[in-house]
Amino acid sequence: MKLVVCVNHVPDTETKVNVNEDGKKIHPVGVNWMLNPFDEYAIEEALRLKEKNGGEVIALTLGGDAHKETLRKSLAMGVDKAMLLKDDTLRDSFAIGKALADAIKDMSADMILFGKQSIDYYDEQIPGIVGELLGIPSVSTIVKMEIADGKVHCEREIEGGHETVETSLPVVISAQKGLNEPRYPSLKGIMGAKSKPIEEKIPAAFPLKVETLAMHKPIASRVKKIIGTDDTAVPELIRLLHEEAKVI
Amino acid sequence: MKILVFTEQREGKFKRTAYEAISAGKKLATELNAELIALAIGNNLDAQVNEFGAYGISRVIVVADARLQMYSTTAYAKIIAEVAEKENAQIIFLSASQMGKDLAPRIAVKLDAGCASDCIALSVENGDIVATRPVYAGKATINVKINSAIKIFTLRPNVFTAKTTDAVTPTIEKFPVALTDADFASKVIHISVATGRPDVTEATIVISGGRGMKAPENFQLIEALADTLGAGVGASRAVVDAGWRSHDEQVGQTGKTVSPSVYIACGISGAVQHLAGMSGSKCIVAINKDKDAPIFQIADYGIVGDALTVLPAMVVEVKKLLGK
Ligand SMILES: Cc1cc2nc3c(=O)[nH]c(=O)nc-3n(C[C@H](O)[C@H](O)[C@H](O)COP(=O)(O)OP(=O)(O)OC[C@H]3O[C@@H](n4cnc5c(N)ncnc54)[C@H](O)[C@@H]3O)c2cc1C
Ligand SMILES: Nc1ncnc2c1ncn2[C@@H]1O[C@H](COP(=O)(O)O)[C@@H](O)[C@H]1O
């Protein structure tokens, strides 16, 4: 199988967010970056499919040179090849999806795997955009996948349950936590990743459809009332929830 | 100008989020002096769509077909895009549910439209629609505007209020769409229901437990309170990874994002990754033994105590309040 995994490079989950001078983006100072956590599930799934069916796994990312770190991590986990669509300009999901789809369309991939969402902008759009641009189905937020007799069955999380989607290859999927348990890179993998080549391409420019006007830090105004230290505080808690907060 | 609202149903029943989207659409339609149209896709929906009139919607388009009973990304996306094109709708609302978020990007490509995901507020400024959406796990919000001719917005569940207004009798139009097998390139063939409790993303009250619940069986205390209140049950990643609770219940950065009226965190420390999923709750209650636990920093009400004894007392007290 030819498997393409799209990976993103994002601020780590502990990052303190400050707004940049332009008032529109995160201030980059003091930010540590990491492979988008959901993309690890996508990489793991691709590696397992290759281990079972043979083939090749290609990791693909769009971004600046810093994204190479995420490609190295993907290589260390075991992907065969890495490609950087080198672009430092501001892009929205549509524009990223367009560049990814352009790069993937001539790869004759059987499956293109994504994380469910980037934990920077929480957009959850790129997998569907790439699927539609390539003219193939996309199944989002999957927690289970089986391929047999030319059919693909994916279980996806929905509100209050799961649904099973039937589709066929080639297909786009996006991985939700629970799909698998991602492996840790081995020492050998990490060493090997350092010397593997990263192919670079320059994607075509694409206009922005969604424009950020401003970024704000929310002002949390919480009551912060400690009511007591044991179950004797409960009547007062319930009273406050009923009469003051009016939520029950 | 026309605003098209996709109304989500599962197994013939419209979801509250569909009414939230209609009400948000109604508000924007009034501000922009636009026409509001609801679109329903499924099978045998005529009786239910009549009820849309209570939310002040006067035009409903129905696409009905036995094959649309169950959700199909490919078929639903095609229908929504066709209806939007035929009607010349410039604004499309979907709920930011598992279905809406699955559909929106595919429709965006079909209509060459920009899409703002998971919006928590919408306003009109100098003629532009400005959408506010959380980024970086709720540590910041951004205001965005969409520059393409057609604009798509997905609305976070539980944030926009579904409001009944002066009832109207909507006209219901059948919209014919020719569907071939190829349009069902992906389709749902089976649905399994998890617990029968509301999902954390849709519940107005969420009660969550963490490692401080001490053992998986102690979650019965949380379930008992949840069932008394009709609430959803959530969990921290620590207890999901330990196998105490299922992935569906995980709240946080790598779990679900929730915005209930009240979120009750029991034995949860309040790690940033957990806060990422619940800091948008309208009211937060923390029950934790440790007075220095970070969860108290974002809580409205707290009890510094043992969740295992506080929870049963809450069940008793809530039953009293509800007269049960
Ligand atoms: C990339 C990444 C993603 C993550 N994503 C998520 C996520 O989506 N969601 C998430 O929740 N976490 C996530 N985490 C994990 C997060 O960092 C914390 O480890 C986790 O939230 C801790 O869970 P907890 O609060 O249940 O456990 P602990 O941190 O162990 O806290 C237990 C709390 O219970 C209290 N306690 C103990 N006994 C009692 C008692 N009897 N009564 C009352 N209180 C008691 C203790 O004082 C303590 O505060 C993520 C971490 C990483 C690195
Ligand atoms: N710059 C990027 N390069 C490659 N893949 C990306 C990029 N951004 C996002 N993705 C992929 O798209 C998924 C969904 O991201 P998003 O739509 O941004 O929430 C991520 O989990 C990645 O798999």
Which pLDDT tens digit goes with each residue over A227-243? 999 999 999 999 999 99
Q: Does B195 score more than 90 pLDDT?
A: no
Q: Which two tokens stand for residue B72?
A: 């199909």
The pTM of the full predicted model, rounded to 2 decimals, is: 0.95
Q: Does B98 touch chain A (CB under 8 A)?
A: yes
Which residue would you say has higher pLDDT here, A110 or A150?
A110
Q: What is the pLDDT of residue B131?
A: 98
Does B314 have pLDDT greater than 90? yes
- Output the CA torsion sign for A128, B129, A121, A92: positive
pLDDT given at position B12 = 87
Please give the pLDDT value at position B99. Answer: 98
Torsional sign, CA B53, B55, B58, B60: negative
For the Cβ of B225 lying below 6 angstroms from any atom of ligand 1, the answer is no
Q: What is the DSSP string of B98-142?
A: HHHHHHHHHHHHHTT-EEEEEESEEEEETTEEEEEEEEGGGTEEE
How large is the average pLDDT for residues A26-43? Answer: 95
Mutating to test ligand 1, I would choose from A13, A41, A119, A181 the residue with most ligand atoms within 8 A of its C-beta, which is A13
**Residue A123: its chain B contacts at CB < 8 A?**
117
A234 CB near a chain B CB, below 8 Å? Answer: yes
Asked if residue B95 lies in contact with residue B18, where contact means CB atoms within 8 angstroms, the answer is: yes
Residue B234 near residue B257, CB atoms below 8 Å: no
User: b/e for A176-198, b at 16 or more Cβ within 10 A?
Assistant: bbbbbebeebeeebeeebeeeeb
pLDDT > 80? residue B64: yes
Kindly tell me the sign of the dihedral angle through the C-alpha atoms of A177, A198, A205, B135.
Answer: positive
How would you label B14-52 residue by residue, b for 16+ Cβ within 10 Å and e otherwise? bbebbbbbbbbbbbbbeebebebbbbbbbeebeebbeeb
Written as six digits, the tokens of B93 are 């609302």
| B272 alpha carbon – ligand 1 mean position (Å) | 9
Say whether pLDDT at B180 is over 80: yes
Per residue in B157-174, pLDDT tens? 999 999 999 889 999 999
Structure ipTM over 0.90, yes or no = yes
Torsion of CA B279, B8, A141, B230, to 10 degrees: 50
CA distance B26 to A102: 39
Confidence of residue B298 (pLDDT cuts 50, 70, 90): very high
- Please, are residues A156 and B98 in contact by the beta-carbon 8 Å criterion? yes
* Cβ-contact B28, B62 below 8 angstroms: no
Distance A222 CA to ligand 2 centre (A): 34
* Cβ atoms of B152 and B104 closer than 8 Å: yes
- Residues contacting B189, CB < 8 A, separation 6+: A153, A164, A165, A166, B70
- For residue A140, the 8-state DSSP code is E
Query: Which 8-state DSSP code applies to residue B309?
Result: H
Q: What is the mean pLDDT of chain A?
A: 96
| Calpha distance B306→B268 (Å, rounded) | 12
Q: For the sheet containing A171-175, what is the strand order?
A: A198-201, A81-86, A56-63, A2-6, A111-115, A171-175, A138-148, A151-158, A161-168, B187-193
- Summarised one tens digit per residue, pLDDT across range A130-164 is 999 999 999 999 999 999 998 999 999 999 899 99
Chain-centre distance of CA A189, in angstroms? 22
Q: Which residues line ligand 2 (CB under 6 A)?
A: A 6-8, 36, 38-39, 42, 60-63, 93, 96, 100, 114-115, 117-118, 121, 123-127
Atom of ligand 2 nearest to the CA of A175: 21
Please check whether residue A90 touches B, CB under 8 A: no
The DSSP call for residue B24 is H
pLDDT category of residue B109 using cuts at 50, 70 and 90:
very high
Segment B221-244 mean pLDDT: 98
